[in-house]
Amino acid sequence: MRIVRTVAELRAAVAEAPRPVGLVPTMGALHEGHGVLIATAAERTRFVVVSSFVNPSQFDEQSDFAAYPRDEEADARLAEAAGADLLFAPAVDEVYPRGFATAVSVTGVSEPMEGAVRGRKHFDGVATVVAKLFNMVGPDVAFFGQKDAQQLAVIRRLVTDLDFPIRIDAVPTQRAADGLALSSRNVRLRRADRERAPALHRALRAAERAVEDGERDAARIRAAALAAMDDFGVEPEYLELVTPESLEPVTTVDGRVLVAVAARIGGTRLIDNALIDTPAAAGGGRSGGPSHDTNDAEIEDPPGDRDRQRPALRRFDHGRPRAARGG
């Protein structure tokens, strides 16, 4: 795996790479969840670019930006082990050179939930840096985690509206044994806060169980989820049931719904979500229960050579079945 730091070096490397090219955008501080993203990209494409860039424009507070963990050496080891071919680790002035004066703003899906709490600047920062990375790399497929469901919706809207010829693949959320979604922020949890952090996952499970038991009223499902969080002494910043694509609130669960939650535990802010299907959405002989953290409908085999395999992928696949190859 090579490490490059300039757009010129990046483009030269990608120009010589076999297609399809996969991109995994990250802000560094890589963990096992990122490893699964990279391994998935390596399974589905022939050349994988991982970007590691702590984007200042999407932080609400300068202190949060300064405190964000950075360890490029560890990131490089994990990225290479997971199957990356190229690590793009630019300086801030490489991405935002002097005189930079352009922003990309996605309205609608960026406004509720995270947008309401963190303000419009956050998703403007996300959309701008992702658009720049898409132009810098020119990937065929870009891989994002389902954990950041609203970010995923913003990026899909961006790709559609600006006609980027890129497929967006969502990868299921990776979790600790107690259900806590893996995140670079988890290392900032104190021991007592870490014990309370599964509250978000428990809330999602409570919502799922309510649907499994036949509840369809969104307010009652939300109340069950809130009660589960209250058991941990955690109050959410928001806990919403919305449509997965447009993020519009739902009053009745009929089909697929996204349950999204955010909470501050101690000094650390956490987010999580679950996709839940009712029988009308499940169909096809399925039981009609929840479809937690899945997005299989969005994933297809990429064009081109599908036979590439890397031994290092095994450590990150968590026993998930691999896509069929060579047929």
**Residues tagged active-site:** 34
Instruction: Please choose, from the candidates 201, 227, 186, 178, the residue with its C-alpha nearest in 3D space to the C-alpha of residue 290.
Output: 201
Return all residues near 181 (Cβ < 8 A) that are at least 6 apart. Answer: 33, 147, 173, 174, 175, 200, 201, 270, 271, 272
Tally of CB atoms within 10 A around 299: 19
Q: What angle do CA 252, 170, 43 make, to 5 degrees?
A: 150
54, 66, 183, 260 from 27: Cα distances, Å: 5, 13, 11, 22
Query: With helix as H, strand as E and coil as C, how does 7-46 read?
Result: HHHHHHHHHCCCCCEEEEEECCCCCHHHHHHHHHHHHHCC
Distance CA 277, CA 92 (A): 42
Is 314:44 a contact under the CB 8 Å cutoff?
Answer: no
Please give the distance of CA 10 from its chain centroid, rounded to a whole number.
Answer: 23
Distance CA 69, CA 31 (A): 11
Distance CA 239, CA 254 (A): 18
